[in-house]
Structure 1
Amino acid sequence: MNEEKTQSGSLPFGALATPPGLTEGAARDFLESNGVRFVLAQFVDIHGVAKSKAVPLNHFEALLTDGAGFAGAGAWGLGMKPHESEFMVRCELDTLRLMPWRPEYASMFGVGLVDDNEHAVDTRNVLRKQLDRLAERGLKLNTGMEPEFILLKEQGGELVPFDDTDRLAKAAYDYRGLSRGRAFLHPLVETLEAVGIDVYQIDHEDANGQYEINFKYAEALRTADQITYFKMAAAEISHDIGTICTFMPKPRSDATGSGMHIHLTLEDEKGTNVFADDSDDRGMGLSKMAYNFLGGLLAHAPALTALLAPTVNSYKRLVVGNNVSGTTWAPVYVAYGDNNRTAMVRVPYGRLELRVGDSAMNPYLATAAMLAAGLDGIDRELDPGEPHNINFYDLSLTQIADLDVDILPQTLSDALEALRGDNLFAETLGQQLISEFLAIKQEEWTDYHRSISQWELNRYLRFY
């Protein structure tokens, strides 16, 4: 283990980062020099939840050739049966990361295979194929994802913010809330920085116990890998200090939900942002390609919502009108505007920010879907219309309708129906994947609809 420390006692940035361009032998040496005993061969299920097998270091080379085998029917959403061939994960060296919160372990992602063919329902494969479509045009997608989460603890049989003093009615950017979260935030940030993930800001969000950590944008597949690693680290570090770090979109009705806003640009082979154009007459610094991509996002917004806001609970966050929490940063209006946080898409100069998704999304599937919609917009030269630089929260539904602005689905059921009716995603991401997603999510909706909530008991048990 690299024992070099900064004056504050933490590891310097990138101290445990995997050196670029490692050969198989150099990777083995790197792992041995850092005291690694096990390497996790990893993939995510259709929900984006990390799945793993621990492989002793003396079998490391096999991960790069044969891969690690999994009974595919044991994972949610791989669309496999118990009698079928194994699901194999052939790991890729450029995904290798140490796990500072578990010093004897390292993590690797890779290609999901069945009978030596890329499995069509492995969402990392699905994203890779969409990026290949982009590469054929000489382009790549850069994304920056902004995960929000809430730190809770169990107290008296209830879940409450982990810090008893975090009680402000308007807690956004509160210094005390940020400072008193350091027992969790500091080791988490040190972990990310130690493996070369560049954290550039941390803040306390609107809800009590709610935070956001932002790290530098990257090529889209790498960003999705980083989000998965981030969630793994956050869950285990919080567990070690006796708290719960939840990425549930809306754990409390009286508090803002946890979103995952996605910033995106397309870059050409010279590294130029092709979404940027200073001659934009609208003053937002967007190129024609960016506007067409945006047109695709808006055109497919209802179906896209099912994949970016994928749970029953997501639609407690995506609400029309006043929110019980008093503030919402989850716009449901199919529109865009210049730095307009009340529209589905905000335009920071020269790039797009899609604000619909929440922290429960599968980052691979969400990114692939977003890219498919955007490419459709480019191919069909879809016009997003004029921007709306207004506060949608101040308008009535009648006023919004008069602007010819649609509303996003308000339940998971509505979003699934939109996904069924939009052929783009089955055609581009694969019918097998979309059918599997729809089946699992329809079952989730049915289970929810048949369950009896505490709200119902409180309201009806003694009323009738």
Structure 2
Amino acid sequence: MTLPAFAGGDVVTLPAAPQSLRARALADDVRFILAVFVDLNGKPCAKLVPVSAADELEGGELGFAGFAAGLIGQRPHDADLIAVPDLDSYAPIPFVREGLAIVHCDPYVDGEPWPYAPRVILKRALARLAERGLSAKVGAEVEYFLVDRSEDGTLTAADSKDEGLRSCYDARGVTRMYDHLAAVSDAMNALGWGNYANDHEDAPGQFEQNFRYDEALVTADRVITLRYLIGMLAEQRGMTATFMPKPFSDRAGNGLHFHLSLWNDDDAPVFPSPADERGLGLSEVAYSFVAGMLDHAPGLQLFLAPSVNSYKRRGATTSASGATWSPKHATYGGNDRTHFIRVPDANRIELRAADGSANPYLALAAVVHAGLDGIERAADPGDPCGPGEFRENSAVLPRTLLHAVQSLRDDAVLREAIDEGGHGVGDYFADAKEDEFLGWHNTVTEWELDRYLTAY
């Protein structure tokens, strides 16, 4: 588009308007678009939209019964959630089905972003960060198991030969799963994510596939997309992929580790500092961000480890390999994977407390709010802990989901930050998670029958 010149000025050429969703899909030979959003539990909700209706999708005409979709703050009589697509997230995914594309959406109700929608919650947290001239970039490590489930419910590794006590990085296990791992890697690279490693993790049947870091919202979208891709591609080969934190009682569980960094308006990193006297190479802003995360660590856990099963991973004393890789105290230190926050180098910090049940939007939103609170208070995390060390004043992380619920209820700063606008999102989430815990607690298990049936 060209505008006429002003007197004495040059002709101004504006960039072309972005293509419509329909035009992009037609250019990519896409037949259907998967319009996706997630509920607070991270469940992917979608409608399959034919390209002929892409204009209606882009125009905000695709409605969902929110109460039926899942945990997203709606009652049966509430108005529809309207899925508004973010065109920047659109991507063809022919490796799942020929002619299929995916686009992430923000739920709206009555023309306003829905405050209980996780993607909306993260965008508001990032907007608060932007008010301080900052942005967050994030990398994510997505761990998962490939399993088979027998008719009696027993789980086994999909690779029957994968049974060693020290399976991590096993070249043979990776090779036997080559077709699946290569398919996922090819998919990530086709999407432009930059897959740079695929490895066998600590436990038999467990894997991790990595992609480059990016803006926080982009990475959160990619975690949701990757879980979907891994699950669908595993099913194509007759396997089940699970991100469940602790599917096996005697093996290490699934983490979701986040690598975080802050950047200024000039797209320059603000974490590194050559003048750091504490030895980690971090700036005072970085230390205050870390301090905020440590101060709010117990309340953060409800967003980082939001399932009953999460605390079977966290509470494990060991695994068959000799380690659980799950922190139990709110500590930080250098290149040491036993800490809540690991500092592998001066450019980033690694948050190691999230697990495979975490909703990436909610987890990152909560982390941003906690870190910002530390920055605004110029909080001091104290000196870093040494390898395997924790101090008497290091907060103990919640032992069960119910403890995590209470920790969030006790953290007014974090709860109010998540509740932006006074909608009670934090309280709603805490109440739902308490109900989840009690639902599990009220179920009689085999453990109880074995322990109590003839004990008295």
Give the TM-score normalised by structure 2: 0.92
* Aligned with residue 372 of structure 2, among 370, 375, 386: 375
CA distance in 2, matches of 1:460, 1:179: 45
Show the counterpart of 2:90.
96
Where does residue 32 of structure 1 map in the other structure?
A: 26
Structure-1 separation of matches of 2:260 and 2:16: 26
Distance in 2, matches of 1:146 and 1:322, equals: 21
The answer on 1:176 being equivalent to 2:172 is yes
Q: How far apart are residue 240 of structure 1 and its match?
A: 1.3
Which residue is equivalent to 2:136?
A: 141
Whether 1:116 aligns to 2:114 is no
Contact 2:57 2:85 in 1 (8 A): yes
After TM superposition, give the deviation of residue 321 of structure 1 in Å.
4.4
Residue of 70, 95, 102 corresponding to 1:107: 102
Correspondence 1:343 to 2:343: no
The one of 233, 238, 241 aligned to 2:234? 238
Partner of 1:429: 418
Structure 2: which amino acid aligns with 1:114?
A: V
What is the letter of the counterpart of residue 226 of structure 1?
R
Compute the RMSD of aligned alpha carbons: 1.7
1:312 is paired with a residue of what secondary structure?
coil
- Give the aligned partner of residue 439 of structure 1: 431
Aligned to 1:4: none
Secondary structure, in 3 states, of the residue corresponding to 2:306? coil
Quick one: which amino acid aligns to residue 125 of structure 1?
V
Q: Are 1:42 and 2:36 matched, yes or no?
A: yes
Determine if contact 2:84/2:106 at 8 Å carries over to the other structure: yes
- Aligned residue in 2 for 1:79: 73
d(CA) in 2 for partners of 1:94, 1:260: 24
Give how far 1:323 is off. Answer: 4.7
Alpha-carbon distance change, 320 to 251 in structure 1, aligned in 2, over 3 angstroms: closer
| One of 388, 402, 405 as aligned partner of 2:385 | 388
Whether the aligned pair in 2 keeps the contact of 1:77 and 1:436 (CA below 8 Å) is: no
Map Cα deviations across residues 401-458 of structure 1 (whole Å, 9 max, x no partner). Answer: 6x43221111001010000110122211115211221121111100111111122222
CA contact (8 A) 2:138 2:260 kept: yes
Aligned to 1:17: none
Partner Cα separation in structure 2 for residue 129 and residue 167 of structure 1: 45
Change (3 A) 1:277 1:21: farther
Q: 2:125 aligns with which of 119, 127, 130?
A: 130
- 1:215 maps to what in 2? 211
SS in 2 for 1:39: strand
Gaps of at least 5 residues in structure 1 are 1-19, 393-399
Residue in structure 2 matched with residue 164 of structure 1 by the alignment: 160
CA distance in 1, matches of 2:17, 2:204: 43
Sequence identity of aligned pairs in percent? 39
The alignment status of 1:407 with 2:406, answered yes or no, reads no
Q: CA deviation at 1:320?
A: 6.5
> Which of 344, 356, 359 is the matching residue for 2:353?
356
Counterpart CA distance in 2 for 1:404 and 1:126 is 31
Deviates more, 1:83-92 or 1:150-159: 150-159
**Distance in 2 between residues matched to 1:232 and 1:186, nearest whole Å:** 16
Query: Match of 1:85, as an amino acid?
Result: A
Matched, 1:314 2:310: yes
Structure 1 residue 22, shift from structure 2 partner: 7.2
CA drift at 1:387:
0.7
Alignment match, 1:449: 441
CA-to-partner distance for each residue in 1:48-83, whole Å, 9 max, x for gaps?
A: 111001111111112222241101111222211222
Contact 2:307 2:433 in 1 (8 A): yes
Alignment-derived partner of residue 269 in structure 1: 265
Residue type at the aligned position of 1:94: D
Query: Could you report, residue by residue, the CA deviation over 1:181-236 in whole angstroms, capped at 9, with x for unpaired residues?
Result: 11211111111111112111111011000011111000000000000000110111
- Partners in 2 of 1:443 and 1:336 — Cα distance? 32
Letter matched to residue 444 of structure 1:
E
Give me the TM-score of the superposition, normalised by structure 1.
0.91
